[in-house]
Structure 1
Amino acid sequence: MRDATTAIKITPPRALAGGFLLIICFGTMLLYMPLASVSGHSMGFMDALFTSMSATCVTGLILVDTGTHFSLFGQIVVLALVQLGGVGFMTMATWISIFMKRKISLQERLILTESMNEGKMEGIITLTRKVFLYSIAIEAAAALYFAIHWSRDLGFSKALYFGIFHSVSIFNNAGFELLGGFRSLTPYVDDVGMNIVSIMLIFLGGVGFIVISDLIVYPKVRKLSLHSKVVLAGSAILTVLGAVVIYAFEYTNTKTLGPLSWDTKLLASVFQSVTLRSAGVNTIDIGGLRESTQLFMIVMMFIGAAPGSTGGGIKITTFVVLFATVGAMLRGKEDVVLFQQRISKGDIYRAISFSLLAVILLITATLLLCVFQDQNFLMILFEAASAFGTVGLSMGLTQDLTSAGKVIIVIMMFIGRIGLVTLAYALLTKRGKELYRHPEGKIIIG
């Protein structure tokens, strides 16, 4: 008779999902401690779980003001969870193993491959080393800029701490900030330097480490992988489209872009478009946006960031494949081709399947939230999409969530971070090859 450990096979997807759950539980215990709050009182288990989930899943939906509620200990816990959740716990564990010169096992390599959405295990340790170097270099450069920028007002030591916190948070697309008052980066809507540095951090965190690695070696090899081409082209198109739509829809809105000069309006539009990839920071009031803009943002958040990045959603590559599939069908083409390369039928089936599952998940979560929350429908849908896309933007619903509402959003953040693909494979008991095929039938479509 098999024991429990052999009966339940620890596959890479299960190890990945289980690892995230362990980190979230550990973070919950630490944030639940009175030591984590300035007041010296515990914030409550549900709120601690919500915050730990939001930080580990690099979402940024917050119940309490990070800058004023949490003590230094609590803020450091949040920051550590963001870093662990952003680069992945297996990546962090591998970094430590490399430093200690410990051999990386085959099982660990498989889990690493799963966590970084790599299609092959070859070169995964080299990629992990690059992730470490890129992350440290990018976060350090941005932290230094933020520290210099804030040193005049905060003093260098506090400015350096603020710089490190915000650099890590924005690069990992987490959206946590210490400025107070749930204002995010709205005081810096017209600060060109802060906007550009933040946009670069969001972009680099959102395209994923595989793309960053390709971009760095591009001057030598003069070649990009199909994945990188799709991610970069898709990100560019979505960013431009988002900026144009936000600029046009909000141009005369006195609550958002209306009072700003034309160049600041353009800067703010680009920033909000980029942040929709999964960042969670904003420079204009999200609740003050027109409903048309908010609905557009929901669609953009649902698409999300790139595979292997710190973001959620159905992923840019999935959206591009879906869009290309529709285009091929309308032109009467049998093959779906991107950058002169044919996309496999398996990838197309996966894109369609998981997109449909994501739509069902979002509708279900929104329906349940409508039962437990007495708020505007668009506000509820926005919150659900933000959680699934691990974006972290909110129209103001987060602080008014009921206990049931918090549970729903917690589940959405977790699924959004580990991904529907990983979750499905983690829950799947057995994947076997079919030994036979059924006869083909005809059905009317459309």
Structure 2
Amino acid sequence: MLHNAARRPARLIPLAFLIATLLGTALLSLPAATAGPGQAPLLTALFTAVSAVCVTGLIVQDTAVYWSFFGQCVILLLFQIGGLGIMSGATLLGLMVKRRLQLSSRLVAQQETRSLGLGDVTGVLRLILLVTLSVELVVTAILTLHFRLSYDLTWSKALWDGLFHAVSAFNNAGFSTYSDSLMSFATDPVILVPVMLAVIIGGLGFPVLYEFRRDQRGKPWTIHTRITLWGSAVLLFGGMVAILFYEWSNPGTLGGMSLGDKLLSGLFTSAVARTAGFNSLDVSQFEAQTLAVHYFLMFVGGGSAGTAGGIKVTTFFLLFFFIWAEIRGNADTVAFRRRISYATQRQALTVLFLGSLTVAIGTMILLSVTRLELGVVLFEVISAFATVGLSTGITADLPASGQLVIIALMFIGRVGTITLATALALRSVTKHYRYPEERPIVG
């Protein structure tokens, strides 16, 4: 089965994530994984394992209280694996053992890294490991020292909290060793800024980071990099402005803060809304308009081939350029003086449609098995599908059937877009005939 799947990356990636999930569930089901007596129920272990591997951060039990040190170590390992990409890690291991990549292995690795060419795969994979370790170590050092010196934690506690949050931030996982996530540090820039930067770097995507380090010799950035960078900036600061506008006087969130703290929390909230899952503000106290802003930010997500989820920044802005071209009556879709192929436009439309359909179906099912309001259900569903991890506080109260729906959404959101993109790319077939054209009425 593995041999057959290895020849088809679209099948191998979900299988690899499934295996990691099952192993994580088994480990979290051990008595040693829980802080109290006994062991975690199977559904709790499964939900937590899926959330960690899919770098989501939704929880049904308080990570800081329910899980033991061993359990927290398992969770950290799972979201590190999920963030790196199992195929990337497997290919790196293959490089160390065989010192070379077979063509089939390169194709598998290219699918997870979205490398621009087969010859770049080795460099991209090395960069993944280098950037991951570098960012996580730097952020760990900053957080550890600050926890120790400013909050008087023991060195061991400060180191563990620093490491856990650094790895969780870079992998956009959103898990925290504090029961209120980062709400206790809502006015502390030394905590929020490093975490936010790690989230942003991890969410840009490794092809963009690879292009940063590569010697361009005067060559312009690729369209992918330009759209990712400009799109991320627009979403980050646009989201910040919207959040500040709606929450400025809300006593449950920003109302009692100083100007500087409001700006910091607004920027942090906008950054983590696009799949990181941490929160420095009480999500349950958000205004309805702020929740709507989050619907959009969460659904779009971050950059392709990074640790973020969602339909991706490039997908959304490619569709924006496509619609703009249609409005202006242009035959070609152009972005940054480059024409976007019809195949790419069709892939973006397909990802958007299937993502929207998945959210709609998940929302309908969850409404059917609960008595919750549409707004909080939709927030939970988008958060799960986009692997964000933010919640208004309903996750633990969902019935077993509702939690299974969330599990499915997290898994689909993490591996479904990867699988879909691969299938679309590999199934490109040239037909030697075309049917007669007809124009139905649109609109």
Same fold (TM over 0.5): yes
Give the corresponding residue for 1:52.
49
Show CA shifts across 1:109-163 (max 9, x none): 1111111123432210111011111111110000000110111321212211211
Residues 199 and 222 (structure 1), Cα distance of their counterparts in 2 relative to 1, 3 Å cut: farther
2:222 counterpart letter in structure 1: S
| Alignment equivalent of 2:321, drawn from 302, 320, 324 | 324
Show CA shifts across 1:170-205 (max 9, x none): 1100000102x2x11111111112121111111001
Show CA shifts across 1:352-385 (max 9, x none): 1221111111000000000112212111000000
Q: How does 1:161-310 map to 2 (within 5 A)?
A: 161-179=160-178, 181=179, 183-217=180-214, 223-310=220-307
- Structure 1 residue 336 displacement after superposition: 1.1
Measure, in 1, the Cα distance between the counterparts of 2:62 and 2:410: 19
- Structure 1 residue 419 displacement after superposition: 3.5
Deviates more, 1:428-437 or 1:321-330: 428-437
Measure, in 2, the Cα distance between the counterparts of 1:328 and 1:375: 41
Preserved contact between residue 14 and residue 426 of structure 1 (Cα < 8 Å): no
Preserved contact between residue 239 and residue 270 of structure 2 (Cα < 8 Å): yes
Measure, in 1, the Cα distance between the counterparts of 2:145 and 2:32: 30
Secondary structure of the structure 2 residue equivalent to 1:82: helix
Where in structure 1 are there 5+ consecutive unaligned residues? none
| Alignment equivalent of 1:401, drawn from 398, 402, 418 | 398
Residues 322 and 105 (structure 1), Cα distance of their counterparts in 2 relative to 1, 3 Å cut: same
- Structure 1 residue 420 displacement after superposition: 2.6
Measure, in 2, the Cα distance between the counterparts of 1:401 and 1:226: 42
Give the corresponding residue for 1:108.
105
Give aligned-pair identity as a percent: 36
1:318 counterpart letter in structure 2: T
Secondary structure of the structure 2 residue equivalent to 1:154: coil
Show CA shifts across 1:300-350 (max 9, x none): 111111110111111100000111111111111111111111110111111
Give the corresponding residue for 1:74.
71
Preserved contact between residue 32 and residue 48 of structure 1 (Cα < 8 Å): yes
Give the corresponding residue for 1:345.
342
Give the corresponding residue for 1:13.
10
Secondary structure of the structure 1 residue equivalent to 2:390: coil
- Structure 1 residue 100 displacement after superposition: 3.8
Preserved contact between residue 218 and residue 224 of structure 1 (Cα < 8 Å): no
| Alignment equivalent of 1:375, drawn from 372, 375, 378 | 372
Measure, in 1, the Cα distance between the counterparts of 2:321 and 2:2: 44
Give the corresponding residue for 1:140.
137
- Structure 1 residue 218 displacement after superposition: 6.4
Measure, in 2, the Cα distance between the counterparts of 1:105 and 1:81: 27
Measure, in 2, the Cα distance between the counterparts of 1:424 and 1:349: 11
2:368 counterpart letter in structure 1: V
1:95 counterpart letter in structure 2: L
Where in structure 2 are there 5+ consecutive unaligned residues? none
Measure, in 1, the Cα distance between the counterparts of 2:426 and 2:329: 38
2:400 counterpart letter in structure 1: S
Preserved contact between residue 57 and residue 85 of structure 1 (Cα < 8 Å): yes
Measure, in 2, the Cα distance between the counterparts of 1:173 and 1:13: 23
Show CA shifts across 1:51-109 (max 9, x none): 00000000000111111111111111101101100011122223333344543222221
Are 1:83 and 2:80 an aligned pair? yes
Measure, in 2, the Cα distance between the counterparts of 1:66 and 1:163: 15
Residues 421 and 94 (structure 1), Cα distance of their counterparts in 2 relative to 1, 3 Å cut: closer
Deviates more, 1:8-17 or 1:151-160: 8-17
Q: How does 1:19-34 map to 2 (within 5 A)?
A: 19-34=16-31
Show CA shifts across 1:221-256 (max 9, x none): 564221111000000001111000000001111101
1:83 counterpart letter in structure 2: Q
| Alignment equivalent of 2:37, drawn from 32, 37, 40 | 40
1:157 counterpart letter in structure 2: S
Deviates more, 1:97-106 or 1:170-179: 97-106
- Structure 1 residue 427 displacement after superposition: 11
Measure, in 2, the Cα distance between the counterparts of 1:410 and 1:70: 19
Deviates more, 1:189-198 or 1:389-398: 189-198
Q: TM-score, normalised by structure 2?
A: 0.95
